[in-house]
Chains A and B, each alone.
Chain A
Amino acid sequence: MKTKPVLGFANQKGGVGKTTWSKIFSEYMALIQEKDTLGIDIDSQTSFTARFFGINKNPVTDFKEPPIHPYYDPNNADGWDGRSSIADIFFGKLPKPYPTNIKHLDIIPSDEGNLFKAENIKRQEMAEKVYGQLHSFINLEDVQESYDIFVIDTPPAKGPLTISAFKAMTHLVIPLEIELQAIEGLAGLLQLWKQEAMSRPADFPLTLIGILPNKLHSRRGSDKDLLTDLRNDPSYGNYVMPVQMVDRMELPLCDLEQKSIFQYADSNPAKQEAVSVCEYIYKRIFQ
């Protein structure tokens, strides 16, 4: 059985657009392409989860936790507390995807406390208990049969959870703000991609779809110049995606209103850019 595509948005720097693009692309696949999509939030900051289900804090531990599952029945719980998250895979349990208000789109939420515990598993146990778990879960027969594509939002770090996500991915997109510090950080993330891509067998490659120029400031000259340099580089220029997203106010508004960018009018420039980016990624994965 050929593995269904697993797309990860990754960058070790925070605030570059990993969560935003995980959400936009998951919505695109579900709403526009009508593909059964499973979004996975493996970042303990739980931002991807919050975009769909709001923030749920445990009043005792103060950690952000998943909401109560809609299919939870306290009278038939069999010891389950009604919450499920991607952290379950690190502790021998199977997570239960949550339906969203978008047809074809399910989400497995994050769980701040339990992901924190998973990250602190002893080093020698890490390879066995963390690194391969997400890959194993996604490749379960039931999971593969239920979805057409998996989209992973990763933490802004190169730690064990990110490694676990990399080991599960078939495709990678690196959102990047076009400013010097972010580009310097890019080299570090590429090292992680290098390690993983070189370790893959030929029938399970990790394809770098590209670096996605994000949050561009159209009036800032440095953005334009640096992006030109990146795109014109003879060695890696073709890894810089030919599409881009300008820093627009619609995107944070979508989050506040828990709305999809694809619900805006077709004439909206933010939607147009989102569509062109998603179409590019979609074609790279499926064609």
Chain B
Amino acid sequence: MKKKYSLPSGISSEISSTIDLVKNNIGTLNYKIIPLEVIEFDPNNPRDLVITREDLPHGPRGDDPFYEQKMQEFESLKQTAETIKKYGVRNAVEIYKFGNSYRLIHGERRCLSSILAGKKDIPAKVLDEKPNDFDIRLLQLIENVQREDLTLNDTLNNIRQVIKEYKQHINSSVDVNVVFLEGLINRSKTQCLNFLAVLNAPEDLQISIKNGEIKSLEKAAIIAKAKSDTQRNTLLKSCVEGASLNELKQASIQQKKLKGLSRSAMSNQKNRPGKKAAKINLGSTININVVSKLVNLVSNDPLYSVFKEQFTRMSFDDYSSCSIAFSSLIQLMEKIEFS
């Protein structure tokens, strides 16, 4: 018997998409509240944080060889701890089961700050299995790249490592371009363009970044994009001397303008495409004396002595009469030169 009724397609597709989503994503939102004491830090995490859990209760010890760096990190963690006291940990850390405890994939800073804030546990995304070494490393590196409290040098080093790991384990011949980088580190296109420029920059810029003389990615990218060694050196010098981002941008624009001028001069010497020049443009001036001087010079030439009287009748009172006088001069000279 023929069917009279059927399900509206909208309802059917909504049910279908929900069920498909669940079938393909079981466990992907497995977030739990985990006691901090059962979370171990990963000794292989590539981040170079030197402060440890043991330093937290009383702060770093004065005789610690890394005292200064630890103190900086301690102060930074205390600031995050204040936020955690007020609002809790907003983004879950990521862990995997490791024997009777858990091992951290990323979120060391959040864990330490939570301990400082007096918290006993932390929200965590729990993976059932240990991801393979490459996945862990890549996750840690990508997480580190996304942190905002790293130095430019640390961030660049992390990106270099992400690319290196990717090339070693996934695709050795990958073209490291902006599209690849966007997909890999999940940053905006502009940032990826800047990162690429700086990663490929000459050694002098890399050294300044490493020494901490340049801390801003945007500034470093402007310098890296300079067209010549001289231009880069100038920009680098003014950046190290404290030029603001805006000043650096202006200097770079100025360089491009100058470059444009010199290119235009160079191009006059070359055969330009298009219609071949059939006459000479003698240019223009706003100085009447220049015209008067030229006319006098020519009239004193013995070859033009026959026109001496004509020259004396020429008026140089205003631009219009000057132009007429100069045109007449050109006409007379052409007559003589071609006769």
* Interface residues in chain A, defined as those with a beta carbon under 8 Å from any beta carbon in chain B: 180, 183-184, 186-187, 190-191, 193-195, 197-203, 205, 208, 221-222, 225-226, 228-230, 233, 235-236, 239
Contact A193 B30 (CB under 8 A): no
A197-B128 contact given A221-B5, A225-B3, A233-B16, CB 8 Å threshold: no
Instruction: Chain B residues near A201: list those with CB within 8 A.
Output: 27, 30, 126, 128
A236-B15 contact given A202-B27, A221-B4, CB 8 Å threshold: yes
Other contacts beyond A226-B6, A230-B7: 18, CB < 8 A: A183-B15, A194-B21, A198-B21, A198-B22, A198-B25, A198-B29, A199-B27, A199-B29, A199-B30, A202-B27, A205-B27, A221-B4, A221-B5, A225-B4, A226-B7, A233-B12, A235-B19, A236-B15
- Interface residues of B toward A: which range? 20 to 34
Shortest distance between the CB of A223 and any CB in chain B (Å):
9
7 shortest A-B CB distances, which residue pairs?
A: A235-B16, A225-B5, A198-B29, A202-B128, A199-B29, A222-B5, A229-B7
Shortest distance between the CB of A46 and any CB in chain B (Å):
31
Contact with A along B1-28 (1 / 0, CB 8 A): 0011111100110111011111001111
Check if B67 is an interface residue, CB within 8 A of chain A.
no
* Interface residues in chain B, defined as those with a beta carbon under 8 Å from any beta carbon in chain A: 3-8, 11-12, 14-16, 18-22, 25-31, 126, 128
Contact B30 A200 (CB under 8 A): yes
Shortest distance between the CB of A127 and any CB in chain B (Å):
9
Contact A229 B12 (CB under 8 A): yes
26 A–B contacts, CB within 8 A, in A order: A180-B8, A184-B11, A186-B15, A187-B11, A187-B15, A187-B18, A191-B18, A193-B22, A194-B18, A194-B21, A194-B22, A198-B21, A198-B22, A198-B26, A199-B29, A200-B26, A200-B30, A202-B26, A205-B27, A222-B5, A225-B4, A225-B5, A225-B6, A229-B7, A229-B12, A239-B19
| Assembled-state Cα–Cα distance A201/B4 (Å) | 44
Shortest distance between the CB of A206 and any CB in chain B (Å):
9
Shortest distance between the CB of B135 and any CB in chain A (Å):
17
Taking CB as reference atom, which chain A residue is nearest B8?
A: A180
Instruction: Chain B residues near A205: list those with CB within 8 A.
Output: 26-27
| Assembled-state Cα–Cα distance A190/B126 (Å) | 24
Contact B16 A236 (CB under 8 A): yes
| Assembled-state Cα–Cα distance A236/B17 (Å) | 9
Contact A190 B19 (CB under 8 A): yes
Shortest distance between the CB of A242 and any CB in chain B (Å):
17
Instruction: Chain A residues near B18: list those with CB within 8 A.
Output: 187, 190-191, 193-194
| Assembled-state Cα–Cα distance A239/B20 (Å) | 11
Contact A183 B4 (CB under 8 A): no
Taking CB as reference atom, which chain A residue is nearest B14?
A: A187
Shortest distance between the CB of A163 and any CB in chain B (Å):
14
Taking CB as reference atom, which chain A residue is nearest B16?
A: A235
Contact B28 A198 (CB under 8 A): yes
